[in-house]
Chains A and B, each alone.
Chain A
């Protein structure tokens, strides 16, 4: 499984990478805004993306629409601080498969990936 991590916080990108170290997932790239994410989806063809919403240049919801046009089978897990239900619903309507609220613990992250990849719980 090839994964792209999209978050404007370098600490969040690093956290996700750190907690995936012992997991069978290859991180093919990271991006800090929606525009970079679109470029990376086109260039690196990941199977899955973790996607923040509040980002500079292009936010996650707009980015989600664009990357689903490029790669309709892409498995997207939104990881965001925006904890209202409407934003979650918007993301799911636009094609996200999973939605996690920050602050996210390593356990929640792992469970999210298990659901994203349809694997038995780790």
Chain B
């Protein structure tokens, strides 16, 4: 039986490794992470543009990645080669990023780590609520000059 601290470190490391791989591989610009922490306050850590994935199977909960539009605009310019992306393009990219980062952790958790299609949204929706019984880990990161959050709530 692992302790809460071990569980925190294990989960955080799996997701950091997944998002590092995404940006390294596609853009050759590495991310830098700030110290991850357990979210204890009600405040929603959301930027302008968020892609969220629901998780079921051997783990239950959610994963989201939230950044400002500029982050996704820059990522699209570099990867998709689309110079003037629309807001919908940037939301789609947020969804795809969260899908890839979540899907890649199946290398560690296996095929019973089931992920949903992404839900994407702008800003802070009024009706967004997170479950109370799930520990929520926040991983702040910076890619290029853009700050963002990866938030993992899994049991």
- A interface residues with partner B (beta carbon < 8 Å): 8-12, 14-15, 18, 54-56, 80-84, 86-87, 101-103, 105
Q: Which of these, A9, A15, A18, A84, contacts B107 with CB under 8 Å?
A: A84
B5 within 8 A of partner (CB)? no
Give the distance to chain A from B49, nearest Cβ to Cβ, in Å: 13
Residue in A closest to B99 when the chains form the complex, CB atoms: A81
Q: Which of these, B26, B92, B102, contacts A81 with CB under 8 Å?
A: B102
Interface 1/0 per residue, B107-138 and A, CB below 8 Å = 10111010111000000000000000000000
**Is B103 a contact of A80 with CB atoms below 8 Å?**
yes
**Is B76 a contact of A102 with CB atoms below 8 Å?**
no
A18 to chain B: which residues have CB within 8 Å? 80-82
B102 to chain A: which residues have CB within 8 Å? 81
A83 to chain B: which residues have CB within 8 Å? 103-107
* Interchain residue pairs A-B with the least CB separation, the first 4: A81-B103, A84-B106, A9-B96, A81-B100
**Is A10 a contact of B106 with CB atoms below 8 Å?**
no
Known pairs A81-B99, A84-B111, A103-B25; A11 contacts B76 (CB<8 A): yes
Distance, CA A1 to CA B58, complexed state (A): 42
**Is B103 a contact of A102 with CB atoms below 8 Å?**
yes
Distance, CA A101 to CA B21, complexed state (A): 12
B107 to chain A: which residues have CB within 8 Å? 83-84
Residue in B closest to A86 when the chains form the complex, CB atoms: B111
B81 to chain A: which residues have CB within 8 Å? 15, 18
B100 to chain A: which residues have CB within 8 Å? 81, 102-103
A87 to chain B: which residues have CB within 8 Å? 106, 111
Residue in A closest to B23 when the chains form the complex, CB atoms: A103
Distance, CA A56 to CA B54, complexed state (A): 13
Give the distance to chain A from B51, nearest Cβ to Cβ, in Å: 10
Interface centre among B76, B80, B82, B113 (most CB of A within 10 A): B80
A102 to chain B: which residues have CB within 8 Å? 99-100, 103-104
Known pairs A83-B106, A84-B110, A103-B26; A11 contacts B99 (CB<8 A): no
Residue in A closest to B21 when the chains form the complex, CB atoms: A103
